[in-house]
């Protein structure tokens, strides 16, 4: 097998219940906290910079650089907020830590907080993750009882409290400023930036907002060293990371790979290839907000730069695979309705445009569309993208633009035939 897999983050193959504090500690858990405390804040930040972790939440900003934006000298309290909203369709990696390895996340919170002199951390979890919240809450309670959290973290004298906060199930709260608004008890609507959360974040105080996987990677970095972790990936995009593969593949699931693995090999080796050995039709490489790719584009390294150069984005690493026989109009119809439903309504282009796009795609799929509707659809998408406070407008418009660019003939065929011309339905339960 050409694709190297790892188990530094994804430890299911060990067959152990890492939700159990005793099991976690027997595997070396929380030792990195003591090492980090001896290192000191600046050294911790330097190790994270050396690891070259580019944020795993989708934006891909270097984590160590982001940490450096939080002011060192301030009279205000500072906060760590972990983004566990994970509402991106096709993405399911953060759920792993919440459900199966919560102490890894808590340990990452402690080390990150030590690095930035933070004494309160919030894990903001999407509202539908009821059992996951219960799992993390139990892990927090067990850590408190064991003296791992609280006024004297593992006897170091450091104080840290960690809380979970349940969202209301809004996709928009995956955007960091909307998440902060929700955390403060306000409607989840994005803020204008600047000021950025590092300076004016939760409750008007300096705040670091990072993705679950980013924070869960920190104990591995401290245990093995930043340079070591960096070498698992590539020059500008270090480490291993989790990818989730869904859709028309034989072995869907979650995998830990070195950043830079070839996407085609990931699909055909790790995921076993396409269901029924059908030809591949399309791939969305990093969650539903990323531009769709055709089979000719997938010989690309799975890095932020590599997928960008191939015409899309790595996003959250949620790969959605579609085989021949998939109606691309129907696939886009489902995505467009999602974004129309999840628009917070703050920005006019998104509030009005996402619903407009969904209605046009409904007409195309149902055979009611006119020829000029294709141009109108593109025009609406162009007016949304780049014209909203947050990236939801881009997330809604990019799939429309890329689907029409790559599969316009299929949209045209729906108009010419008065409905969907594709024959031969996919096996039951496999249509995306």
The residue extents of the domains of the chain are: 12-230, 240-323, 328-417
Question: Which pLDDT score is estimated for 13?
Answer: 80
Is 328-417 in the same CATH topology as 240-323?
no
Gap between the Cα atoms of 360 and 259, Å rounded: 38
- Mean local confidence (pLDDT), 75-84: 97
DSSP H/E element including 361: helix 348-366
Question: Which pLDDT score is estimated for 169?
Answer: 86
- Mean local confidence (pLDDT), 76-89: 96
208: β partners: 80
Question: Which pLDDT score is estimated for 429?
Answer: 44
Which fold is adopted by the domain 328-417?
de novo design (two linked rop proteins) (1.20.1440)
pTM of the model: 0.94
Gap between the Cα atoms of 158 and 156, Å rounded: 5
Gap between the Cα atoms of 136 and 218, Å rounded: 18
3 state SS of 124: strand
Question: Which pLDDT score is estimated for 432?
Answer: 40
Gap between the Cα atoms of 241 and 232, Å rounded: 9
- Check residues 13 and 138 and name the one with the higher pLDDT: 138
Cis preceding linkage at 194, omega within 30: yes
pLDDT tens-place string over residues 153-177: 999 999 999 999 999 889 999 999 9
pLDDT at 393 over 70: yes
Gap between the Cα atoms of 208 and 78, Å rounded: 8
Write the CB contacts of 289 (distance below 8 Å, at least 6 apart in sequence).
58, 88, 315, 391, 394, 395, 396, 398, 399
What Å distances lie between residue 308 and 7, 60, 162, 292, 311, CA to CA? 27, 12, 36, 12, 5
The two structure tokens encoding residue 347 = 């920005």
257: β partners: 5, 241
- Mean local confidence (pLDDT), 177-197: 96
Question: Closest Cα to residue 174, out of 305, 56, 259, 265?
Answer: 56
Question: Which pLDDT score is estimated for 58?
Answer: 83
Question: Which pLDDT score is estimated for 57?
Answer: 86
Match 């590539």 to its residue by tokens.
Answer: 234
- Mean local confidence (pLDDT), 57-63: 88
3 state SS of 28: coil
Percentage above 70 pLDDT, the chain = 97
- Mean local confidence (pLDDT), 25-40: 97
The two structure tokens encoding residue 357 = 């796009």
CATH architecture of 12-230: 3-Layer(aba) Sandwich (3.40)
Gap between the Cα atoms of 205 and 345, Å rounded: 26
What Å distances lie between residue 89 and 13, 123, 318, CA to CA? 26, 20, 8
Is the Cα torsion angle 163, 164, 166, 171 positive or negative in sign? positive
Gap between the Cα atoms of 210 and 80, Å rounded: 8
Question: Which pLDDT score is estimated for 1?
Answer: 53
**CB-based contact 52:230 (threshold 8 Å):** yes
**CB-based contact 368:360 (threshold 8 Å):** no
Name the band, by pLDDT with cuts 50, 70 and 90, for residue 416. very high
The two structure tokens encoding residue 180 = 């902060």
Name the band, by pLDDT with cuts 50, 70 and 90, for residue 428. very low
The two structure tokens encoding residue 73 = 């000298």
- Check residues 58 and 98 and name the one with the higher pLDDT: 98
- Mean local confidence (pLDDT), 335-353: 96
Question: Which pLDDT score is estimated for 93?
Answer: 96
Percentage above 90 pLDDT, the chain = 92
Name the band, by pLDDT with cuts 50, 70 and 90, for residue 222. very high
pLDDT tens-place string over residues 274-320: 999 999 999 999 999 999 999 999 999 999 999 999 999 999 999 99
- Average pLDDT of the residues of the chain: 94
**Strand arrangement, sheet containing 120-125:** 161-166, 120-125, 79-84, 207-211
| DSSP per-residue letters across 78-92 | -EEEEEE---STT--
Residue 42 phi, psi dihedral angles, 5° rounding? -65, -40
Class of domain 240-323 as given by CATH? alpha beta
**CB-based contact 18:100 (threshold 8 Å):** yes
pLDDT at 420 over 50: yes
């Amino acid at each position: 097998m050409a694709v190297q897999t790892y188990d530094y983050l994804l430890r299911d193959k060990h067959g152990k219940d890492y939700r159990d504090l005793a099991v976690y500690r027997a595997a070396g858990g929380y030792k990195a906290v003591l090492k980090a405390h001896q290192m000191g804040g600046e050294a911790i930040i330097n190790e994270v910079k050396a690891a070259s972790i580019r944020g795993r939440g989708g934006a891909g900003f270097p984590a160590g650089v982001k940490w450096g934006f939080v002011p060192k000298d301030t009279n205000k309290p500072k906060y760590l907020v972990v983004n566990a909203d994970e509402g991106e369709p096709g993405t399911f990696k953060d759920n792993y830590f919440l459900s199966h390895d919560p102490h890894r996340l808590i340990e990452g919170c402690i080390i990150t907080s030590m690095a930035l002199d933070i004494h309160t951390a919030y894990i903001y979890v999407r509202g539908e993750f009821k059992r996951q919240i219960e799992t993390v809450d139990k892990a927090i309670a067990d850590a408190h009882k064991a003296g791992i959290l609280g006024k004297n973290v593992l006897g170091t004298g450091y104080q840290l409290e960690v809380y979970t906060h349940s969202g209301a199930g809004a996709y928009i709260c995956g955007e960091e400023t909307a998440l902060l608004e929700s955390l403060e008890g306000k409607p989840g609507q994005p803020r204008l930036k600047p000021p950025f959360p590092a300076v004016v974040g939760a409750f008007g105080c300096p705040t670091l907002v990072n993705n679950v996987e980013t924070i869960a990677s920190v104990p591995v970095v401290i245990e093995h060293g930043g340079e070591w972790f960096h070498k698992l990936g590539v020059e500008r995009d270090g480490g291993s990371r989790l990818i989730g593969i869904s859709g028309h593949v034989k072995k869907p699931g979650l995998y830990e790979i070195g950043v830079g693995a070839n996407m085609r090999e990931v699909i055909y080796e790790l995921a076993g290839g396409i269901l029924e050995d059908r030809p591949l039709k399309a791939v969305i490489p990093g969650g539903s907000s990323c531009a769709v790719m055709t089979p000719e584009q997938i010989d690309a390294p799975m890095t932020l730069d590599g997928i960008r150069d191939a015409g899309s984005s790595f996003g959250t690493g949620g790969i959605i695979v579609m085989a021949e026989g998939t109606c691309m109009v129907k696939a886009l119809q489902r995505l467009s309705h999602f974004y129309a439903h999840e628009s917070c309504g703050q920005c006019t282009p998104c509030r009005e445009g996402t619903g407009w796009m969904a209605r046009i795609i409904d007409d195309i799929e149902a055979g009611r569309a006119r020829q000029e509707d294709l141009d109108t659809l593109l025009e609406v998408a162009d007016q949304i993208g780049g014209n909203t406070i947050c990236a939801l407008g881009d997330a809604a418009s990019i799939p429309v633009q890329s689907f029409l660019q790559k599969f316009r003939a299929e949209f045209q065929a729906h108009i010419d035939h008065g409905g969907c011309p594709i024959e031969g339905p996919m096996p039951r339960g496999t249509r995306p």
